[in-house]
Chain A
Amino acid sequence: MSGLRSRALLFGTLSILIVIGLILDELDALGPLEGLALQLTMPVQRLVRGATDRIVGASQFLSDQRDLIERNQQLESLVDQLMIENVRLKEFQAQNEDLRAKLEFSETHPEYVLRAAEVRGQVVGSEPNNLLAVLIIDVGKRQGVAKGMPVISESGLVGHILAVGANWSKVLLIIDPSSSVAAMTQSERAPGVVSGRLGQDLQMEYIPQQDRVTVGDVVLTSGMGGRYPPNLVVGQIIESVQRDVDAFQEATVRPSVSFGKLETVLVLTGYQPLDVEGVLQGEATAEPAATPAGTPAATSPP
């Protein structure tokens, strides 16, 4: 019995200490300690991940050879179509640049110069449990990465920086249940909010009933809320649900990014996410200032 009592006492003591640690972490009092472990293990994580990437890559190649041949034929056909569309888009781009120069658009709207500043990060680790969707990448404050910055891949939106250290960052993926992205459909510009769901495709909610949602339509970020810049590819609608009794429509969105195969990502260091809570708190505490006559009112980024 005394053995059971001592074990229970040990369990109780350790549990209380861990609960205290949890409360301190919730109050963000453990920041420097939290980063220390990742900073120390980053070289090892990079090494292990690099080795496994090579092993996985080799075995994947052997098993997918037949699929690769078929896929190659499909892609060649797609390349031909895209080349034609690319020529058209280049025409539009040239016209667009010309108009922007004439309107001096780039000076009055610097937030549109997005891809000029980005940092490439290697994925070195993932969330160790199966409930959360977070990646660890090997770039941090030293490379100009800050909390909240959007993260993308060549296929589309990946997520945003959740936490950052000197040489590491944690990326909250858009497939995580905690993630929400202000989005819109490409064709009809129907607005909505895309949320992550455990083990499933994304869910687009709060789509107005009067807007048309088409299966196959591409979903882009809308830029609302300021967390992500507009026009980043989120995914494609594979199912829509519209019921007259509901206030809004819903749709299922397949993400454009293959999150299980991510090796490198890009952090958009040139984009400053808007701290909505900070702005609202600032407005609530600041005294109203007199606006001189003739001064244009300040506007938030589109």
Chain B
Amino acid sequence: MTEILWLVFDLTLLILLLALAWLTCATRDVMRAVTLFIAFGLLLAIVWARLNAPDLALAEAVIGAGISGALLLSSIKDYPSKQPDRKQSRVMEGMINVMTLALTGIMSWAAWHALEISDGVRLSEQVYAQVPASGVSNPVTAVLLNFRAYDTLLELAVVLVAVLTILTLNEKRPRAPEIPAALLQSMTRWMVPVLVIMAGYILWVGAHAPGGAFQAGAMLAAAMILQQLANTSMQRNINLLLVRILLVMGIFTFVLVGLWMMSLNDDFLAYEPAWSGSLILIIEAAATLSIATALTLAYMGGRPAGWENANKTRSSTAEDGEAL
């Protein structure tokens, strides 16, 4: 009986996912498409939870539905509501359809082959055997920050490059002139500390339960975005030098730890086994701050005022209260 119920549940999720994806691509109204995309992200988080991947579900909910939603919504603010009907040639449409179908077919065949036909040797047994030696007990954190730490380092570099591109292209998006509601400001007053504490908790608990640096960083960025939305009329000085330092602190700490371990153990990022847990925590803490700063700057849309003179003066109009 429970088998059938789970099957019905899975089929419903699958159909809803496909329907949302189709509608997101097919609507003409940009606002509706963004809203559907946020709903799609949320449904995808449920799918990850159903597949027993709570870390991915957390990351998808916070980053995919939350931060991406905020970024998309703030970037379509000045778009016309309905996109003009662009004439696309039939040949191009046909080619895109054929290639998408071919890609879907190949990936489905690959997934079916991997699950049914192949001899079922997976890396997961070897990974689980090595997790106790990695310094943390959550296998996802062990893989991300110990076994494949180099990949995570490169991910942080990609985020940094993306934010540097945003900073190079634009000045900060001008704020709407209307006064925010008093209710929003009073909610922010208690919501931001709660979010900061939750971010710290998720960072800490990533060692032995679902969590980690990316989720915590995105939650911190959400707190900062909320603060931005609510404190429009307050002029606060942010120390732009501090923002620059926070932006690169993640990669800097990561590379520093890697080089230090190279001097001890002859291999970049080869952790000393006794220090693995502490090193992972230090790297994750620095990465959280960097990711939060990067996502907040991405939401702001560009350079805050006074960016070029950051080393000498403070920013004149700012709202990114990084009161850490």
Asked if A pairs with B, the answer is no
Binding site for A on B (CB under 8 A): none
